[in-house]
Structure formats: structure tokens, C-alpha cells
Structure 1
């Protein structure tokens, strides 16, 4: 892995732990959502069932640990801890970007540790759209999926972040084509997400036509 990639992954953890990263002027909008009280539920509390399904796997609650980190000593410990909780609570995990391990296979253990800890848990991998645009070895990707026994692959879209961050990689050409190819050939469900600016209806429609699973 390049020093730049390694430094960035460590910085992501350090910045989130030590600096103020919360948005001050933009909210989720949830403060405008009011849940209506049902005074006649016609069911007992013990009848409430939060069990959900993700691509054929049962999870105890519709909650997923989203892609956070990978590719460093620090991230190995974080992924281990998350996997332990996911196993205990029967939840699902998506690991952080596997780009570091694609560049340096010696870092694969910062991802496989999750499967070691939670052999029956739903675990997904993650890769950035910019890496798809620049080209990715599908055989190597399939090998990583096999090694980690991953249940899905998520692809994160972050054009704004890549365009403005220091040492960003603003490469976005042919991403949809690559997503379509992976959806047909990778052998696991493909999930596409955006890192903070949302997905428009138009983009969602394109992704649906490309064959993504979610």
C-alpha cells in the first residue's frame, strides 16, 4: 500500500476521534418527522418482532454497521470489536474500503479478522467508485471475497469528497459501466451508497437498471 493511502486511513480514524467533525448547519431532517402514536395497536408487546432479512440472511434488527475502516493496525482492532458486537447481537457488517489490501495483500488480516471473530455473521466488503473508474482486477476482487467469505460488496460514491479533499482522486468516468459489469459477474449482491450527499432519484434509477441489489 502506498504511504499516502496508509496515512489517509489512519488519519480518518484520528480525525473522527479527536476533532469536531459534526455538521453544524445542516441536519438530517429527522427533527421534522413525527411518529404517530397508535392507541389501539391490537397486539401485545411480546408480539413485536424486529427480525429482518438482508439478502437471505436473518438479522435481529434492521441495523447495519456501515463501512468504517480497514488497512491498518488500528482498523484491525476496530473491525474485530465491531464483529464481536455484530455476532453477539446478530447484526450485519460492511467493512471499510478494501483498497489498502488490494494495494498490499499483507493488510488483508485487518478485514479477515471480522470473519475470524464472527464466522456466521453477514459481512460485506466495500470499494470506492474512483477505484472502479481507474480499473480493478476482478479476479483479485473475487479472491478477496472468497478469503473473507464476504456476503456482499458495497460501492461508495463520493465525487464531491474526492474533488475537494487533499490528495483526492476525482476519477468518475465509466463507473456505471463497471457497476453493471460487477452486478453481472461478481457472484455476490452489489450495494451502492453515497457517503454524505445523497443519491437522487435519477441516479437511483440508473443503478437499478444496472442491476444493483440495493
Structure 2
């Protein structure tokens, strides 16, 4: 099996495992430790609640990104097509999975191009791995990724845990920061960094100061675990030791709620997306209140279209966005600015994390 065939088979395995198996971390996001203080005397009608916002200069209807997780194979192309249709309908940003395969094969590129065809009027986020940047991704190839979906933003995804657990992984990051700085200064769109389930600590965020990135997706612990997925792949391949190692790292990382506060302690104003175990509109409201500008969802939206097509995805997003609007309303607000200064109580493990790491929660 050549390198291209390995990439394709791995991507379909990732997708099938994600939609059919238990692939979420048993560790939590810590969002359960965030409680809104309900306001019973309200100054607005529910119809006045407006959760629209800006994403890199584009007005969107809600602070929700359909996050990149798939692409490169016929099956994932069908998923991307449905996700893009939903992004266009709800007028929210959409990302794709790693486009590395699209640089190698025209048919793989088509599984990403469908996103610009089905979602021409919303922000689109291209995606490539940090390993590829570290190994010298050319500016020309980066621009091909951007052109492939006519992207407004380029995400560079960070997945060191997954890379060390993959039999065919490339845990090569020595030259990453130098490569990232070159990329940021050369490509035609803003560059953001995207974690993939391991979260973000402030020590890592500090290394990015001065690089010029325009956003961070914290990709926190508590949602899809690629350690779990790689463990399932290892079992399929008969790699018992690797399966055991993957199992031991299934709960490794910085939880999503903590990741938001960690990054905000270094970058108070950067565009911040919170993915990682966000599963409903109340949790979208919580990550916004903690300091994120957007929530991101991948697995629950992918599962909804895989099992229910576009109607299934529509039902899920309708529910999620109505829950967000209800949450804004019940904290006494009518927009996201009000949500970001709503009173909250923080308890449990997140409170412990905040104290030990000397973090703060801002009220805007």
C-alpha cells in the first residue's frame, strides 16, 4: 500500500469509527462546572434575541462553526457536501478536514471542493497538519489548499498525540514554529491554529506570541478522542501494545473549558474558537461566556447527517441554535455582548484548575 492509499484508508477508518463507535473521551470538558445565574425578570421579548456575529469580517448568523474533521474519500466527500449545505442554510462558517490528500490526487481534491460549491456564501476554513508545515509545506501548496475550497481562513491543525499513536504517523515538529511564521507571512488569508482534542495550555500559547496567527481553536479534551480512534485502528491491525498505549492516553489533555481560559490569559483579543465536546446550545453559551468567540462542533453534526442526512443535520442545528437563543434570553440578554457579561458560578474541577493555574474569567 502506497502513502496515498494509506491516507485514504485511514481517513475512512477515522470517519466510520467516529460515527459508529464510542470515540469520545471519558474525561469531561469541565463545562458541567459552569452554571448560569437565571434571571426571571426580563427586559426583552424572546423575538428580540440576536446571536449574529462576525467571523473575519463576514457576518454570520450564530457563533457556531461546523468544524473540519473529514474529506479525501468518496464517503467523506458526501459528508462534506451535506455539511456544506447546512452551513449555507444556517449561514455559519464551515471547515474541512486535512486537505493533504487533495494535494496528491484530483479525485480527493473534489471531496473538498464540494464545500465551496454547496456553501458559496459563508466563510470556509482550509486545513493542513502541523507536521506538513514542519516538514516544509511550500507557500504554493498552501495556496492550493486555499484555492481548493476558496477559503477565507487557513487552519493548521495540531495533533501530536495522534501522530505518535499512528503506526504511519509523522510526529515531526522541530521546525514547526519557523515554518508557521513563514506561512503566516506569505499566504493570502489569515492563519489560525486548531487543536484536535488535546486542548491548549498557556505555555503553548506563549510560544505563538509574535508569530502573527489570527485565531486559535482550542480543540479541548472532552469530546472526540483521536487516541481512542487510533486505539481502535491498532486493534484492527493487531497492534496490541499500541492499542494499550492509546487506551492509557485516552483522557490526556487540557479540558475545553480550561483551554479557553488558558489561551485567553495570553491572547485576550484573538479570535478564539472552542471545540471539543460541545454538544448542545447551552454548552455553546457556556464557552462564549468563558471567553470564546465561537463554538465549534464536528462529531455531533457529522453523526446527525451520517444517520439522518441533511434533514437530520437540520434538526440538530435548529435545536442547538434555539437552545443558544434561549440561554441568552434567560440570563437577561438579547445578544452575545450581554451573554459575555452574564453572571456565572464556577464549581468543581474547573474551579480547582482556575485556582491552581491562577486564571481569571473575564466579563466583557
Give the structure-1-normalised TM-score: 0.94
The separation in 2 between residues aligned to 1:166 and 1:55, in whole angstroms, is 37
Q: Deviations over 1:88-118 (max 9, x none)?
A: 0101101110010112233211011011112
Is 1:84 matched up with 2:104? no
Q: Which residue of 2 aligns with 1:48?
A: 49
Query: Which is further off, 179-188 or 101-110?
Result: 101-110
| Whole-Å separation in 1 of the counterparts to 2:93 and 2:9 | 28
Q: Give 1 or 2 for the bigger CA radius of gyration.
A: 2
Residue matched to 1:6: 8
Corresponding position: 1:157 with 2:155 = no
Structure 2 gaps, min length 5: 216-364
RMSD over aligned Cα, in angstroms? 1.4
* DSSP 3-state at the match of 1:67: coil
Superposed, 1:51-70 pairs within 5 Å as 51-70=52-71
Q: How does 1:120-199 map to 2 (within 5 A)?
A: 120-199=121-200
Q: 2:21 aligns with which of 9, 19, 35?
A: 19
Residue of structure 2 in register with 1:38 after alignment: 39
Indicate if the aligned counterparts of 2:127 and 2:145 stay in contact, CA closer than 8 A: no
TM-aligned CA distance change 1:104 to 1:210, over 3 Å: same
Tell me, what secondary structure is at the counterpart of 1:210? coil
TM-score (norm 2): 0.56
- Cα deviation, 1:1-41, whole Å, max 9, x if unaligned, reads 611111111111111122221222x1111111101112344
In the TM superposition, what whole-angstrom CA distance separates every residue of 1:182-213 from its partner, at most 9, and x where no partner exists?
11110101110211111111221222421100
Bigger relative CO (Cα 8 Å, ≥ 6 apart): 2
Three-state SS of the structure 2 residue aligned to 1:75 is: helix
Q: Unpaired segments of 5 or more residues in structure 1?
A: none
Aligned residues: 213
